[in-house]
């Protein structure tokens, strides 16, 4: 029997941003590890509730790399679920719309929705950053987003990914459309 899971990402600017040169802040509450990172004008959105979280992928840090659920956002900060460890970021780390898993997985497909059709000619690309190295990287999807409001991409044959492969959704979104991306994943044992 197939077990599918959906991971949600959302924002109203580009699908990636750089973390500011600043210290991580302990935002934990009793029993819940929370860390606030500063990323000026990031545009990422928090999910509607704890049971409907959105995610981001944090990269280049010492303590926070990986797929993280968003707890809350403000104009220049993102609070993620994580155990706090003191760290000052160099200003080169990133937050991305990227999926990965520490176990093998299949990408079954994805759904993208915008609040209104894009009016700028910019490509959305979906790429695999292979854990085995650049020789195994691949492009899964490329689409000029001009006039696009919805994309439903379900693969006839799921995309087989090894553990720690990263599937990266990249779009500049210079007209700042509100977007939601649902990534449909099948975990393998």
Neighbours of 58 (CB within 10 A): 24
Structural domains of the chain sorted by starting position, each given as residue range(s) with its CATH number in brackets:
16-97 (2.40.30.20), 98-187 (2.60.120)
Residue 185: closest CA among 171, 166, 170? 166
- Residue 52 CB partners (closer than 8 Å, separation 6+): 8
> What's the pLDDT score for residue 147?
98
Q: Which residue has the tokens 């719309």?
A: 97
In this prediction, residue 1 has a pLDDT band, given cuts at 50, 70 and 90, of low
Radius of gyration, CA atoms only, the chain: 16
Q: How far apart are CA 17 and CA 40, in angstroms?
A: 8
43-69 pLDDT tens trace? 999 998 878 899 999 999 999 999 999
Question: How, if at all, do strands 16-18 and 94-100 pair?
Answer: antiparallel
Percent of the chain with pLDDT over 70: 99
pTM flag (> 0.85): yes
């Amino acid at each position: 029997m197939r077990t599918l899971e959906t991971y949600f990402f959302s924002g109203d600017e580009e699908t990636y941003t750089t973390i500011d040169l600043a210290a991580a802040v302990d935002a934990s509450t009793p029993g819940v590890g929370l860390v606030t990172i500063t990323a000026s004008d990031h545009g990422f959105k928090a999910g509607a509730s704890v049971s409907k979280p959105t995610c981001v992928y944090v990269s280049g840090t010492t303590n926070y790399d990986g797929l993280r659920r968003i707890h809350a956002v403000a104009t220049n900060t993102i609070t993620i679920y994580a155990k706090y460890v003191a760290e000052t970021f160099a200003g080169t780390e990133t937050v991305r719309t990227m999926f990965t898993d520490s176990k093998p997985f299949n990408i079954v497909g994805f759904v993208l929705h915008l609040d209104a059709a894009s009016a700028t000619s910019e490509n959305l690309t979906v790429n695999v950053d292979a854990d085995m190295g650049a020789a195994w990287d691949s492009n899964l999807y490329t689409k000029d987003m001009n006039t696009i409001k919805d994309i439903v991409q379900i693969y006839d044959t799921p995309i087989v990914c090894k553990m720690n492969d990263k599937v990266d959704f990249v779009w500049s979104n210079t007209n700042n459309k509100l977007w939601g991306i649902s990534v449909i994943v099948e975990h393998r044992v």
